[in-house]
């Protein structure tokens, strides 16, 4: 490949190239050859000698000396393992890692879980949100239904876009069925019953799963009749 701005060969010889301090180049070619000669003779690193750095003390934020180091006392391997484990627990897991998502969202024996904050949800792409929703739905029966579980399901339902894809519709049906089955195992005065009812109603009414709307309406009538009978 030809150079865009080629400089002719050195006709004067390397020892005869005029220096800018000694003479003025007689042509543009002489000037460019002089620049090339000076560039070739410049060292890769230049260190200022007798430099007075005290005049920058008022603007200095960090004092670094040759004896300084980033880790003067490295932590033990046990502490390093703990730090890496904690860091890994707080990273978003792979999309297909169902257990990883359950731990990330709901926690485990060693991890308290992450609440579905607006900042966290906003940092996720829609495909990641739907995959997280799928993993939580498929792992519904593996975890105890808690307030945090309900918060995650509610937050992810808020993010579901319409019109619904067939896969999303199928997941919503599974979620509503799981919530209904879990509700049957709880006492009627358990506060989690209200959370489960909320999820079922959102799936049936807001996301417009037709057959579930009918199921919710019939369930509400039966519950009302049971309440009157108990009274």
Count Cα neighbours of 226 within 13 Å in the Cβ-side half-sphere: 7
On average, the pLDDT of the chain sits at 78
pLDDT beyond 90 at 147: yes
Nearby residues of 174 by Cβ (< 8 Å), 6 or more positions away: 137, 138, 140
pLDDT beyond 70 at 156: yes
Which of 182 and 82 is assigned the larger pLDDT?
182
pLDDT beyond 70 at 99: yes
Residue 12 pLDDT: 53
Residue 52 pLDDT: 81
Nearest to 97 by CA among 146, 153, 139: 139
- Can you give the pTM of this predicted structure? 0.56
Distance CA 207, CA 58 (A): 62
Q: What backbone phi and psi angles, to 5 degrees, belong to 61?
A: -105, -25
- Cα dist from 102 to 97, 113, 167, whole Å: 9, 9, 20
- Report the pLDDT averaged over residues 18-37: 72
Domains of the chain in sequence order = 17-42 (no CATH), 94-230 (1.20.58.1070)
Q: Give residue 136's pLDDT band: very low, low, confident or very high (50, 70, 90).
A: very high
pLDDT beyond 50 at 21: no
- Report the pLDDT averaged over residues 121-133: 90
Q: Which residue has the tokens 């579905």?
A: 116
Q: 45: which 2 tokens?
A: 């690193």
- Report the pLDDT averaged over residues 117-124: 90
Residue 180 pLDDT: 87
Q: 33: which 2 tokens?
A: 């050859």
pLDDT beyond 80 at 41: yes
Which of 173 and 36 is assigned the larger pLDDT?
173
pLDDT beyond 90 at 154: yes
- Report the pLDDT averaged over residues 4-32: 63
Q: Give residue 221's pLDDT band: very low, low, confident or very high (50, 70, 90).
A: very low
């Amino acid at each position: 490949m030809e150079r865009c701005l080629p400089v002719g060969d050195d006709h004067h010889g390397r020892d005869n190239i005029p220096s800018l301090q000694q003479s003025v180049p007689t042509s543009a070619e002489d000037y460019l050859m002089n620049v090339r000669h000076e560039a070739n003779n410049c060292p890769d690193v230049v260190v200022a000698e007798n430099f007075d750095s005290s005049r920058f003390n008022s603007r200095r934020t960090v004092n670094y000396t040759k004896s300084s180091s980033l880790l003067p006392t490295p932590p033990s391997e046990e502490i390093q393992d703990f730090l890496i484990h904690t860091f890994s627990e707080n990273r978003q897991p792979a999309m297909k890692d169902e257990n990883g998502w359950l731990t990330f969202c709901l926690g485990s024996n060693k991890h308290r879980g992450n609440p579905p904050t607006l900042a966290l949800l906003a940092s996720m792409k829609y495909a990641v949100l739907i995959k997280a929703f799928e993993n939580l739905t498929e792992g519904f029966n593996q975890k105890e239904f808690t307030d945090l579980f309900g918060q995650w399901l509610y937050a992810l339902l808020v993010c579901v876009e319409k019109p619904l894809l067939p896969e999303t519709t199928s997941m919503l049906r599974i979620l509503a069925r799981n919530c209904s089955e879990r509700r049957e195992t709880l006492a009627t005065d358990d506060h989690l019953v209200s959370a489960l009812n909320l999820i079922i109603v959102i799936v049936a009414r807001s996301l417009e799963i037709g057959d579930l709307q009918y199921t919710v309406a019939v369930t509400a009538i039966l519950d009302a009749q049971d309440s009157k009978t108990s009274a």
